[in-house]
Amino acid sequence: MKKIKILAFAVLFIFFTAAAWGETFIFRADRMYGARATGREIIVLSGNAEVRSDNLFLQADRIEIHGENNRFIDCIGNVRGHDEERNIFFTTDRLRYDRTLKIARLEGNSTMEDRDNEILARARFIEFDEEREIAVMQISVRLFRNNLTCRAEHVVYRRQEQILDLSGFPVVFRNDDEYRADRIRVDLETDDVIMHGAVRGTLRN
């Protein structure tokens, strides 16, 4: 069993090429710890930690990179990120990014801002599948877009189709109008609101 430990107390710039992926990581932090042991390969960055991988830029108090072929990136504390390809910004308490499945999971006080589509979402849990471009949001979900505000316990945002599916006590406010039902679908391209089950609402002229 072999271990390598590295501590650096100045700001670090480290360029690392993962042979299995043929790409370059760019790391930056105040401190770094690295260990390579069978089944325990890990790089830990702390203090103003930053990682750039693929089109994803991440910042956090602490970042851990681990797993086979550096599959997982775990960010802890004051997490901020930017998906540069899709122009999506997010903040959260904790984040795990799976580089194989291309899935990001945000936990805690989380926000996701899709600037191209002018949507701001807040929730306690957000999972974004990059390849399918689908975000699943849970627990105290709030979405804002121009004159539209949505609340629910569970929301599926289909980015390519521009569709929101809300369930779990969903409420939609559009201007002064209010819509409630068991399930609500919002078409963001047409502004259509489709409701199913126990439908009720208030329209104000």
Mean pLDDT by 10 residues, the chain (205 residues): 38 40 75 76 92 90 91 96 96 96 96 96 97 97 95 97 97 93 95 91 78
CA-to-CA distance for 26 and 125, rounded, in angstroms? 27
Domain range for residue 44? 1-76
59 and 91 part of one domain: no
In a domain, 62, yes or no: yes
Residue in the block written with tokens 């316990």: 153
| Residue where a domain stops, chosen among 21, 55, 76 | 76
In a domain, 81, yes or no: no
Q: Are residues 158 and 105 in the same domain?
A: yes
The answer to whether 134 touches 157, Cβ cutoff 8 Å, is yes
Q: Provide the pLDDT for residue 25.
A: 75
Is residue 21 in some structural domain? yes
Same domain, 109 and 168: yes
Whether 105 and 33 map to the same domain: the answer is no
Do 48 and 125 share a structural domain? no
Closest CA relative to residue 31, chosen from 57, 16, 50:
50
pLDDT of residue 167: 97
Task: Tell me: do 53 and 99 sit in the same domain.
Answer: no
Please check whether residue 100 lies inside any domain of the structure: yes
Question: Rounded to an integer, what distance in angstroms lies between the CA atom of residue 138 and that of residue 168?
Answer: 9
Cβ neighbours of residue 169 closer than 8 Å, sequence gap 6 or more: 151, 152, 153
Q: For the beta carbon of residue 40, count every other beta carbon within 10 angstroms.
A: 10
- Residues 107, 179: one domain? yes
pLDDT of residue 18: 40
Q: Residue type at 171? A: V
Separation between Cα atoms, residue 114 and residue 128, nearest integer Å = 12
Task: Indicate whether 4 belongs to any domain.
Answer: yes
Query: In terms of domains, do 57 and 96 share one?
Result: no
112 in the same domain as 53: no
Residue 92 counted as domain residue? yes
CATH number at residue 168: 2.60.450.10
